[in-house]
Structure 1
Amino acid sequence: MPSPTWDPAQYLRHAGHRARPFTDLLARVPDLPTQPPAGPPRIVDLGCGPGNATTLLAARWPAAHITGYDNSPEMLDKAHVEHEGPTPGGGRLDFAHADVRTWAPSQPYDLIVSNATLQWVPGHVERFADWVAGLVPGGTFAFQVPGNFDSPSHVLMRELAHSARWKGRLADTLRHDDAVLAPQAYLEKLTGLGCAADVWETTYVHLLEGEDPVLDWVKGTGLRPVLTALDDEPEARQEFVAEYRAALREAYPAGRHGTPFPFRRIFAVARKEEA
């Protein structure tokens, strides 16, 4: 599956709802082993996107040196302009290009965190060993991923992409329902690496506003591969979106106060042994 082109403005249209799981993840991350005056903690955010969620790391650990990595030039441009530089607590926030599929720590880190990114990385659990090895003793690896690939928003998208009209262009474009593992599988993998692991899942019911809000949501994330694949055919792109919009309206009817959008997510916090 080729890398999609990202639109930071579209992604940030639902920034509040998207940040909620990251806030909940960070609430379960323990204190970092390196603390001033021993030196600034070192933190990595894998798949930082436009950097808005990365700033939550600086709020929690104001003296830390935090680096956000992403492979999208569009997302990194937004992050550089709006968030890079010294932080009020004496730390620093910077951003750089990296591919999560191949990134490996070049120095010891106190925290490696990833927010709604690993679902884009086939075989991502095979990277865990390198990342845990790159933690200082007592350091933490934490991530959250969507667990909603069997939800109508994704099922309908895949069914349409594999229909007779679209399969020639889109059959190999989208992720399947095995893009992430079950919570038990993550727990087994992380404990097998010698970590004390806390794994859980939560289903949020976001109340979305506006016309076709579920479509608006997925335009910023899950639908990006389709939009990228059809970017050179504007009429075909509009046709696909129109068919998908109709299916979403039926699957997610609007209520009196907005459109309920159930969204399951899987979380993991793994702490490396002290010695």
Structure 2
Amino acid sequence: MSRQAEPRWDPAQYGIFSAERARPFTDLVERIRAADPRRITDLGCGTGALTATLTERWPDAVIDAIDSAPEMIAKARAHEIPGRLAFRVADVTTWRPHQPVDLIVSNAVLHWIPGHPALLPHWAAALAPGGHLAFQVPGNQNAPSHTALRDLCESPRWRARLSGIGAQTVLEPAEYLDILHRHGCTVDTWETTYTQLLTGDDPVLAWAKGTALRPILTALDPAEAREFVDDYRDRLRAAYPPTDHGTVFPFRRVFVIARRKSP
């Protein structure tokens, strides 16, 4: 399973739309029917603010949270609770627990990993009998925000530098169901399109700077990045024109909750 170069993350930029980014996580966790998990792992915890809410939902659990971005973990450590919630830098693709886990949560992470469906059997096998795996991924790879980004990366100006960088792979809900069902799980999967109203100057660009643009901005020098962003801004303005009350930005998400069957 190959990985593209790790993007440099900016926790402040990512946090600009924190309420909108939190909503899918909240909706995912509300559907988890785990009564009293004792061991929880958050794979790809980001800044840790959402992970910390799991301590309120399951106050008796011990939570291990990992992320590959040192910038995110540095921010997350402000949420640590000794003996209950710990954050560390680690790669979710090579993560293996020392003992079975009652609940694995992964929020908006898997789409960054080429070949990520191959991880799911390993994660399902890491669950204790009756344990849950819950994840959500963006399903908007065919939205104008992403098609414009791909078109720009593949344009003559940028193809040699950026072809394939930041490419994301997301399956359809039924495909995730099939994989996890074949590996001993009962599966609940669904999709939701959030019709988000964003405010501010070029808000869709600001959103993308926190996520989809990170690999491109990492690959370019500052002058190149300004040129690329200026072109991308024009394309986003055409695709998402502002209204009197803000900019409408629909965002599709795919949700999966799998429960490992008991013997």
TM superposition score category, shorter chain reference = over 0.9
Is 1:197 aligned with 2:187? yes
- 2:149 is matched with 157
What is the identity percentage for the equivalent residue pairs of Structure 1 and Structure 2?
Answer: 54
Asked if structure 1 preserves the Cα contact closer than 8 Å seen for 2:136 and 2:256, the reply is yes
Residues 48-69 of structure 1, C-alpha deviation per residue, up to 9 Å, x if partnerless? 0010110121121112111111
- 1:113 is matched with 105
For the aligned residues, what is the CA RMSD? 1.1
**What SS does the aligned partner of 2:103 have?**
strand
The aligned runs of 1:85-100 (5 Å cut-off) are 85-86=81-82, 92-100=84-92
- 1:184 is matched with 174
**What SS does the aligned partner of 1:53 have?**
helix
- 2:244 is matched with 256
- 1:37 is matched with none
Deviation beyond 3 Å, 4+ runs, structure 1: none
Asked if structure 2 preserves the Cα contact closer than 8 Å seen for 1:162 and 1:170, the reply is yes
Is 1:239 aligned with 2:227? yes
Quote the offset at 1:124 in angstroms. 1.3
1:219 to 209, 214, 220: 209
Query: In the alignment, residue 216 of structure 1 is paired with which amino acid?
Result: A
1:68 to 65, 70, 85: 65
2:79 to 76, 79, 83: 83
Flag structure 1 segments of 5+ consecutive residues without an equivalent: 35-40
- 1:38 is matched with none
How many Å separate the matches in 2 of 1:44 and 1:241? 36
Aligned length: 260
Flag structure 2 segments of 5+ consecutive residues without an equivalent: none
Q: TM-score, normalised by structure 2?
A: 0.96
The aligned runs of 1:35-74 (5 Å cut-off) are 41-74=38-71
How many Å separate the matches in 1 of 2:139 and 2:72? 23
How many Å separate the matches in 2 of 1:168 and 1:133? 40
How many Å separate the matches in 1 of 2:57 and 2:99? 22
